[in-house]
Amino acid sequence: MLNKDNVIKTISKFPETFTLDELVDKLVFIDKVERGLDQSVNNKVCTHDEARKRLRKWLK
């Protein structure tokens, strides 16, 4: 989940003019990275072998 400080920092790094799509894309990216880092810290990840098994099922 994003927090206000991260959003403000992100916006402050943007040029004077930008599109809403550019801002949303950047915020979604930051949110996904933060979620992934949180999952990693909380050991909510799978091994390479587990990922391969899951992909095999999906690709059938």
- Give yes or no for residue 52 having a pLDDT over 90: yes
The pLDDT assigned to 60 comes to 82
What pLDDT does 18 receive?
97
What's the pTM value of the predicted model, to 2 decimals? 0.73
Polymer length of the chain: 60
Instruction: For residues 52 and 57, give the distance between their C-alpha atoms in angstroms, rounded to a whole number.
Output: 9
Torsion of CA 4, 33, 39, 56, to 10 degrees: 150
CA gap 30, 1 in Å, rounded: 9
Q: By percentage, how much of the chain surpasses pLDDT 90?
A: 90
d(Cα 8, Cα 3) in Å, to the nearest integer?
Answer: 9
